[in-house]
Structure 1
Amino acid sequence: MIPLQDLPANRSPASLTAGSFLEPGAATAWMRMSVPLVAGEEITPLRWVLTAADSGNGVSVALDFHRYVFINADFIVGLYRSPVGEWVCLDARSVVDGAGIGLAGTVLHDERGQLARRLTPCTWSCAAVTACGATSAHR
C-alpha cells in the first residue's frame, strides 16, 4: 500500500495505487468524498469510512464491468478503532467460484494505518461466471 503522504498533492478523489478499476484482480485505492452524502450534513471520519467501504467490491473486480453489473445487497464493516481524517484507503480483493458464489473483502486504512475490514457476500449467475472464465479464482 502506498502511504497517503506519498501520493501527489493534486490527486483525484479516487486515486488508484495498485490494480485496475476495469480489469479483474485485486486493487488498492485512496479515496475521499468530494461532496457530502446528504446536503447540509457534516461528513465525520466515520461517514468517510463507511461511504468508502461501500466501494470495496467496485475497486476489486471479479467479473468484466463491460458485461455485468451488480449492486451491494449487504455488507459488514468491522472497525478496530475510530477513524481519522478524510482519506480512506481500500485494499480490495474479490473471490468467485464456478457456481457463482463469492466474497468481496476489503481492508480499510486511514492516515494512521489499518482501521477496519469490510466483507460482502456476492452471487452471480453460473452462466456469467463460466462466460468470464472464473473457476474458483482469487481476484
Structure 2
Amino acid sequence: MNDMPDAFYLPAGDDAYEPTRATESPWDAEAQHGGPPAALLAHLIDATADPGTRLARISVDFLGPIPRRRVRVEVSPVKPGRQVRLSEARMIVDGRTAVTARAWHIATGPKPPADGESLRPPALPNAGAEQRYFPGLADWGYGRAVEWRFTRGDYETLGPAQVWTRVRLPLIAGEELTGLARTLIVADSANGLSATLPLGQWLSIPPTMTTTLLRAPEGEWVHMDCRTHLAADGLGLAHATLCDPEGYLGEVAQPLLVRQR
C-alpha cells in the first residue's frame, strides 16, 4: 500500500474514531473489513475490565455493511462480577448500530497442575517468501495492513489454508498494539482464507464471529489453520485454530450465508 496510514483508527474525541484506509474491505472501498471493528470493540471492552481478569470469549455481530466513516463506540456492563463478567459494545455509524460485541472476562488464578494438550504450528516461512493477495486485489487497505505468509494453500487455491499473520499497524494511533487486538484484527479472515468456492462467483458472508481465547499471543505472529464446511441448504461454517510460535491460542467460528452472486 502506498502511504501506509498511522493506524487502523485515528482517535476523534468523545469515544469517536476515524477509520483509515487500513480498514478497507476487499469488496467495497467505502466499507470496513470486519476484523478491525471486531478488534476495536474488543480493545475498548478490555479497557473497562477489572485487573486480574482476561478476555476469554467475544462474539461480534455485523448488522450490515460497515461504512468507512467516523464511528462512535459505546461500552456497557451486562453482568458484573468478580469471577466472570459480561460486557457489551456497540459501534455506531451515522446514528445506526453497525456492529455489536459481547465479551466474557474471567478472573485469572493459580496455575493448574497440568498444561493440557500441546499444539505446535508449522514453522514460520522465511522473510523472502512472496507476499500474495487475492487475484485482482493487489492494493486493498486491510490486506496491505497485514503480512500474510502461507504454510498451506494461498489466495489462489480453494480449500483449507494455513497462514502466519503479522499486523503491521497499531489498532489506534498513539497506542501500542496489544496481543488481543493483533488476534482479533485477523480472526474474521478465516472464511476468506479457506473459501471452498470462487469468491468472484459466490458470496460467503459471516453475519457473526465468535473467538474463544486460551491466552493472548506472545510476539508479533499469529498462525491461523482455517477450514470452511458447506451444508446442502446454503449455509456454511468457517473455523480457524489460532496459534503463536509457543503453541495454542484459541478458536474462531463463523456461520456463513453462501449464495451464488
TM-score range, shorter chain: 0.7 to 0.9
2:229 paired residue among 69, 92, 95 = 95
Pick from 57, 80, 84 the counterpart of residue 214 of structure 2. Answer: 80
Is 1:66 aligned to residue 218 of structure 2?
Answer: no
Question: What does residue range 1-80 of structure 1 map to in structure 2 within 5 Å?
Answer: 1-4=121-124, 7-11=125-129, 12=131, 13-80=147-214
Return the structure number with greater strand share: 2
Structure 2: distance between partners of 1:90 and 1:55: 9
Secondary structure at 2:223 match in 1: strand
1:71 shift after superposition: 4.2
**Structure 1: 4+ residue segments shifted above 6 A:** none
Alignment-derived partner of residue 121 in structure 1? 255
User: What amino acid does structure 2 have at the position aligned with 1:15?
Assistant: R
Report how far residue 9 of structure 1 moved.
Answer: 3.1
The structural deviation recorded for 1:74 is 1.0
Higher relative contact order (CA 8 A, sep 6+): 1
TM-score, reference length from structure 1: 0.80
User: How many pairs were matched up?
Assistant: 125
Q: Which amino acid aligns with 2:234?
A: G
Q: Are the equivalent residues in 1 in contact too, given 2:211–2:250 (CA < 8 A)?
A: yes
> Cα offset for 1:41?
2.6
Distance in 1 (CA, whole Å) between partners of 2:156 and 2:205 is: 16
CA-CA distance at 1:77 after TM superposition: 0.6
Structure 1: distance between partners of 2:158 and 2:248? 24
Structure 2: runs of 5+ lacking an equivalent: 1-120, 132-146
Cα distance, 1:82 vs structure 2: 3.0
Cα deviation for residue 3 of structure 1 reads 1.8
Q: CA deviation at 1:119?
A: 0.3
Cα distance in 1 for partners of 2:192, 2:198 equals 11
In structure 1, stretches of 5+ residues that fail to align are 132-139
Distance (whole Å) between structure 2 residues aligned to residue 41 and residue 17 of structure 1: 31
Q: Is the 8 A contact 1:77 1:119 kept in 2?
A: yes
Report the AA paired with residue 121 of structure 1. P
How high is the TM-score relative to the length of structure 2? Answer: 0.44
By how many angstroms is 1:62 displaced? 2.3
Task: Give SS of 1:61's match.
Answer: coil
Identity of aligned residues (%): 34
Greater Rg over alpha carbons, structure: 2
